Amino acid sequence: MPQLNGGGGDDLGANDEMISFKDEGEQEEKISENVSAERDLDDLKSSLVNESENNSSSSDSEQAERRPQPRPDLDSYEKTRDYFSEALRRQQDGGFFKSPHYPGYPFLMIPDLTNPYLSNGALSPSARTVNIVLHLHLKLFISCYLFLTPQYLQMKWPLLDVPGAAGLKDSRSPTPGHLSNKVPVVQHAHHVHPLTPLITYSNEHFSPGTPPSHLSPEILDPKTGIPRTPHPSELSPYYPLSPGAVGQIPHPLGWLVPQQGQHMYSIPPGGFRHPYPALAMNASMSSLVSSRFSPHMVPHHPHGLHQTGIPHPAIVSPAVKQEPNSHDNMSPSMHSRKSPGLAKKEEDKKPHIKKPLNAFMLYMKEMRAKVVAECTLKESAAINQILGRRWHSLSREEQAKYYELARKERQLHSQLYPGWSARDNYGKRKKRKRDNKPDSTPEGKGLGSICHSIGHLFSI
DNA sequence: TTGCCTTTGAAGCGT
DNA sequence: ACGCTTCAAAGGCAA
């Protein structure tokens, strides 16, 4: 039985990760948040239903426009369904992918709904009747399987390019294709499977109502009684993918994966050459590697890759931001063994290995664009205040998802850079002056009025 | 051009 | 063990 707490074995798992759940005394607020969340879900459902109703009541000419056309993304959507079907088969215990009451309904009926036309392109009278019936069924279906729709996926992961949800995405993501001009993180256009988060992770992590494994009663911190993350050795069951799937199925952080049809980092056909066989990467890790950063940030290893064969996004050469140097990305601590002058010189050239993102940072990365789109705000400081409050309003399961991702980030980071320490980055920035400014709370700044349209989402 | 602001969490350091 | 500090992302803003 793997011990979860001993010998620093949990060096990557934060025992106090869930502290934020206990604080604040925001019970009332959380209750209202839950109500709001349900309301949002209802709104989403009704909007989708209305959309379907509009479709059914639209004129023939409109229907003609809606007539199935050869679409470039159709193939990807078909693949989506294939992937999803495959994922469905993988599920043994119901959970997220619980079998529908109408076997095959979501997969067979939906395409049919879009094609109630005769061979000559006209909508048959019987098809009209059937259309109405089907749309009634669609309402029920949407209610039951809302979270599986492209619209939902697009809403859930707004930075993903979910086929079939372009409109929603466009309205919510004002800067598709990138998140930042500092870190050239771009979005994968069509090669990121919209169900990626559901496939690369087991339903333990994502099934609604089923707490992540590290929150399950079976794994509790004996000291605090707080649910904790499992030891890395417990992770393998989370990645049921075969090695052949490496590089094909991206990571849940897929919203950060590059686009334009290229994998950010090439992956050798034979898999990774990991220096630590015991730590050989699984599919999720490999995709994690390719998730977060731009190749511009990756210094060139003499052999073109990190010693692991995996250029990690956390590496930022000082010259980078500029141009890749030929320096290898040894841990900064390794460089410090050289003579002072030489060490200093190389200090300037050595790559800057960034800290792995914590749970909140990952959450911010995902949600920032959405908040920016919904608010009139653009200033990060204000956005972060909103995100901070929204973070606290997240459900336990929602937060756990990000803690889990962050834990994987740390795990991968430590494997890629065994000698790296957060200390290595100390002093890289100019020292900040810390003066406590008077009341700068979101309430004080009136973000509620600025972001009133989503105020109920942010408790402002 | 550079640092600040603002958030949470992880990690390092000093006491 | 505890408290403080630094850094991670982000982009407008001020110096």
Residue A78 makes CB contacts below 8 A (sequence gap 6+) with: none
Mind listing the pLDDT tens digit of every residue in chain A (460 residues)? 333 333 333 334 333 334 333 333 333 334 344 434 333 333 333 333 333 333 333 333 333 333 333 333 333 333 333 333 333 333 333 333 233 222 222 222 223 333 333 334 443 433 333 343 334 333 333 332 333 334 433 443 433 443 443 333 333 333 333 333 333 233 333 333 332 332 233 333 333 333 333 333 333 333 333 333 333 333 332 222 233 333 333 343 443 333 333 333 233 333 333 322 233 344 344 444 444 433 333 333 433 344 444 455 566 654 433 333 333 333 333 343 345 555 555 556 677 899 999 999 999 999 999 999 888 888 899 999 999 999 999 999 999 999 999 999 999 999 999 889 988 888 877 655 544 444 434 343 345 445 654 444 444 4
Q: Distance between CA A165 and CA A156 in Å, rounded? A: 11
Q: Say which nucleotide is closest to residue A407, CA to C1' distance.
A: B10
- What confidence score (pLDDT) does residue A283 get? 39
Q: Distance between CA A143 and CA A318 in Å, rounded? A: 51
Residue type, A441: T
Q: Which residues touch strand C (CB under 7 A)?
A: A 175, 179-183, 185, 352, 354-355, 357-358, 360-361, 364-365, 368, 378-381, 384, 422, 425-429, 431-432, 434
Residue type, A6: G
Burial label for A248, CB within 10 Å (0-12, 13-18, 19+), is middle
Q: What is the four-CA torsion angle of A78, A81, A83, A84, rounded to 10 degrees?
A: 170
Q: Say which nucleotide is closest to residue A359, CA to C1' distance.
A: B9
- What confidence score (pLDDT) does residue A114 get? 34
Residue A159: phi, psi to the nearest 5? -90, -5
**Residue (of A194, A203, A183, A207) closest to A159 by Cα position:** A194
Nucleotides of B under 7 A from a protein CB: 2-13
Which residue places its CA closest to the C1' of nucleotide B12?
Answer: A423
Amino acid A214 CA to nucleotide B4 C1' distance, rounded Å: 37
- What confidence score (pLDDT) does residue A31 get? 38
Instruction: Centre a 10 Å sphere on the Cβ of residue A323 and count the other Cβ atoms it contains.
Output: 10
- What confidence score (pLDDT) does residue A412 get? 93
Contact in structure between A52 and A135 (CB atoms under 8 Å):
yes
Residue A208 CA: distances (Å) to CA of A59, A63, A94, A147, A275? 38, 36, 12, 10, 38
Residue A337 makes CB contacts below 8 A (sequence gap 6+) with: A343
Contact in structure between A261 and A189 (CB atoms under 8 Å):
yes
